[in-house]
Amino acid sequence: MAEKRTEVRVEQRTLSLSNLDKVLWPRDGYTKRDLIAYYHTVAPRMLEYLRDRPLTLERYPNGIDGGSFFEKNVPQGMPSWVSRVTIPSPGGKHAKITYVVCNDAPTLLYLANLAAIVLHVWTSRTATLEEPDFVLFDMDPDERCTLKTLATVTLALRDALVDVGIAPLVKTSGGMGLHVVVPLAPGHSYDQAKIFAELVARHIASVCGKMVTLERMVAKRSPASVYIDYVQVGHGKTLVAPFSARARDGAPASWPLDWSEVEAFTRSRTTDPSVAFGKYTIRTIPKTLEREGDRWSGRSWKRAKLAAVVERVRKRWR
């Protein structure tokens, strides 16, 4: 049976969209049309976090129950007008990967049409690939961890960072966890970012005790704890982009939070983080964004200089 195609015009580009009624979230009934409509709505804000960054696609051509694959190389048939960057791969001396770079709405919708539900971005941009412009702390709760514990640990991380002069940002991962981000001033290396991330994570582990684990092996982690993943910092490491949809029931998406919302989680009657974060979906976020705006925009993005921060750490975190 031939694919049903629909042509649309987006910012001077003509896109041929296929099988718009294909169901991607079977228990919710959300279709590829819904995914494309969502990304079209949030594009003005989401593109701020995608632009000039190498992108890894997580594609679900047969829906979230039908199997998936990660795609780093530019997909076959990608239009010539889509931006891309070719980067040597550590997998071989001469191996290279050509990544998609999503700089505009037509590219974003083209990717959605490929059923690229989840978009993973580098922490650096194409012009400065070896200089991250933020540090990520992935707050990954054990399946028995409560929302209150996750929020408490995340707030402890925030307070420690604020104490040494940093203004961190926070968002939902779109799943059970939270992402804390430290924007960096230009000129930092990945090695500097890694050293800083480990220093902070070990300090929080010492402050929070059994609520925190730094153990990478899941079987060895403390039950009901929060794993602070500080190693997602480095060349080629990625995170789920703000506003990216996730391949989970309910069609949740990664949503930038205000710290007051994390404080409210410590008082919530909800115990399951995925339930609390499940209200941020491809259906609800567009209206919330229109009403409340993007918590990460503009003045919120205050860039830290790690040399000065580390000096304060040495004085205060002994």
Q: With contact defined as beta carbons under 8 Å apart, do 4 and 18 qualify?
A: yes
- 263-274 pLDDT per residue, tens: 999 999 999 999
- What does the alpha-carbon distance between residue 243 and residue 32 come to, in Å, rounded to a whole number? 16
The yes-or-no answer to whether 5-122 and 134-316 have a common fold is: yes
pLDDT one-digit tens code per residue, 275-286: 999 999 999 999
DSSP run (H or E) holding 46: helix 32-50
154 against 95, higher pLDDT: 154
What pLDDT, in 10s, does the model give residues 118-129? 999 999 999 999
What pLDDT is stored for residue 314 in this prediction? 83
pLDDT for 93 beyond 60? no
* Closest C-alpha to 16, from 35, 31, 36: 36
3-state class percentages of the chain: helix first, strand second, coil last, to nearest 5: 35, 25, 40
- List, for residues 138-197, the tens digit of each pLDDT value: 999 999 999 999 999 999 999 999 999 999 999 999 999 999 999 999 999 999 999 999
Residue 187, pLDDT score: 96
Give me the CATH code for the 5-122 domain, please: 3.90.920.10
Q: Which fold has domain 134-316?
A: DNA primase, PRIM domain (3.90.920)
Sequence ranges of the domains in the chain? 5-122, 134-316
